[in-house]
């Protein structure tokens, strides 16, 4: 949005171009506290917030400070590609809970319970989910929260897609479900998705002071505080009118419905569960395995993604990296015209056989 760009330009002109505190400017941390209270029903103080270069660095910081070597993190598959790697970089062990469309890609407390060992340290949550778009209900989150409290586990919850919800889905921050679970939670969020600010690199965590202090110290010795200019723009984004967020959501919803309908008409593609959040569609394409497309035998989602890229010049992401080898991921974070053009090309490729 223009007002956010203008705030970035003003920051440069006003000389807000120096180092900031490692955890971010006080002004931005205050604006984040206001946002968490307003949108998520969460009360935090600025010293409990750490601003980073994107939600990704926030996740990295969180796992670096939480994990000792060999400690386990419960991660739902299909997962965002970076979770297992971020956990491994911190010396941890990803423990994957497989889910599929038969249960709406939902993660339940019972599924987590089956994977618990005496080394389990963290439950990783991502609702709305990239890549499936699944949104956990208040009830499901309450059960997961109770489990975490019962077994004294930490929760890292990545809520970066919270604003992109469809079909009446509600976003609930697990930390808002009670003091006991709040103490054990590091909430990760950022501005990349809600304000289309991916290149500004703005993410943050909200947690107990002890974790915030550790993450700020880590950041202080690795990257220092994030860009002062981006932080000024982030204050404008969080405190300004939120109208553009809702406009964007409605536009995404329109594209989601359109793409969903078109994908389900492509031979061999099946989206059984309409995503209730984020901006991805994640069709199951296993019906095409064994078929030949453009002279190439398709045995995996990697093969299919490659043929689509090479022959139709459309970029889709194979599910393998998401722990979901039967799927490929489409993004509708692009214009309707481009969506139609891409799907037309894929349809022509499939018709060619």
Ligand X SMILES: Cc1ncc(COP(=O)(O)O)c(C=O)c1O
Nearest to residue 71, comparing CAs of 53, 52, 47, 95? 95
At residue 325, the 3 state secondary structure works out as coil
Q: What is the CA radius of gyration of the chain?
A: 21
Cα distance between residue 160 and residue 281, in whole Å: 17
Report, in Å, the least distance between residue 130 CB and ligand X. Answer: 4
Please report how close the Cβ of residue 147 comes to ligand X at its closest, in angstroms: 22
Q: Which is nearer to ligand X, 75 or 285 (CB)?
A: 75
Indicate the residue among 81 and 146 with the shorter CB distance to ligand X. 81
The residue with its CB nearest to ligand X is 54
Residue 293, phi then psi, degrees to nearest 5: -125, 125
Residue whose structure tokens are 């481009």: 338
Task: Tell me whether residue 24 or residue 190 sits nearer to ligand X (CB atom).
Answer: 190
- The full DSSP string for 35-83 is HHHHHH-----GGGEEEESSHHHHHHHHHHHHPPTT-EEEEEES--THH
- Quick one: 48 or 158, whose CB is closer to ligand X? 158
Contact 121, 99 (CB under 8 A): no
Query: From the CB of 172, what's the least distance to ligand X, in Å?
Result: 17
Shortest distance, CB of residue 296 to ligand X, whole angstroms?
A: 29
- Give the residue with the Cβ less far from ligand X, 40 or 350: 40
CB of 145 to ligand X, least distance (A): 20
Q: What is the binding site for ligand X (CB under 6 A)?
A: 54-56, 80, 126, 130, 158, 160, 190, 192, 198, 203
């Amino acid at each position: 949005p223009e007002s956010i760009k203008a705030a970035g330009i003003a920051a440069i002109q006003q000389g807000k171009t120096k180092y900031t505190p490692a955890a971010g400017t006080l002004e931005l941390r205050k604006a984040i506290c206001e946002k968490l209270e307003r949108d998520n029903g969460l009360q935090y103080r600025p010293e409990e917030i750490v601003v980073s270069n994107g939600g990704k660095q926030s996740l990295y910081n969180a796992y670096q400070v939480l994990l000792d070597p060999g400690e386990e993190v419960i991660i739902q598959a299909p997962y965002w590609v970076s979770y297992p790697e971020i956990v491994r970089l911190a010396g941890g062990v990803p423990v994957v809970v497989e889910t599929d469309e038969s249960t709406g890609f939902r993660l339940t407390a019972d599924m987590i319970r089956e994977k618990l060992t005496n080394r389990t340290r963290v439950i990783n949550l991502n609702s709305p989910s990239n890549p499936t778009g699944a949104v956990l209900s208040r009830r499901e989150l309450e059960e997961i929260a109770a489990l975490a409290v019962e077994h004294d586990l930490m929760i890292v919850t990545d809520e970066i897609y919270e604003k992109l919800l469809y079909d009446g889905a509600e976003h609930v921050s697990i930390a808002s479900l009670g003091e006991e679970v709040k103490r054990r939670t590091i909430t990760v969020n950022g501005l990349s998705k809600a304000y289309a600010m991916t290149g500004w690199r703005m993410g943050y965590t909200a947690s107990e002071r002890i974790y915030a202090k550790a993450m700020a110290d880590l950041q202080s010795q690795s990257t220092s505080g994030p860009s002062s200019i981006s932080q000024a723009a982030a204050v404008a984004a969080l405190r300004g009118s939120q109208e553009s967020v809702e406009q964007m959501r409605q536009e995404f919803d329109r594209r989601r419905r359109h793409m969903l309908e078109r994908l389900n008409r492509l031979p061999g593609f099946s989206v059984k569960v309409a995503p209730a959040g984020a901006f991805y569609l994640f069709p199951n394409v296993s019906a095409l395995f064994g078929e030949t497309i453009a002279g190439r035998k398709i045995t995996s989602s990697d093969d299919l993604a490659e043929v689509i890229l090479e022959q139709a010049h459309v970029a889709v992401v194979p599910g393998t990296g998401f722990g979901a080898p039967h799927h490929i991921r489409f993004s509708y974070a692009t214009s309707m015209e481009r969506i139609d053009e891409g799907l037309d090309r894929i349809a022509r490729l499939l018709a060619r056989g």
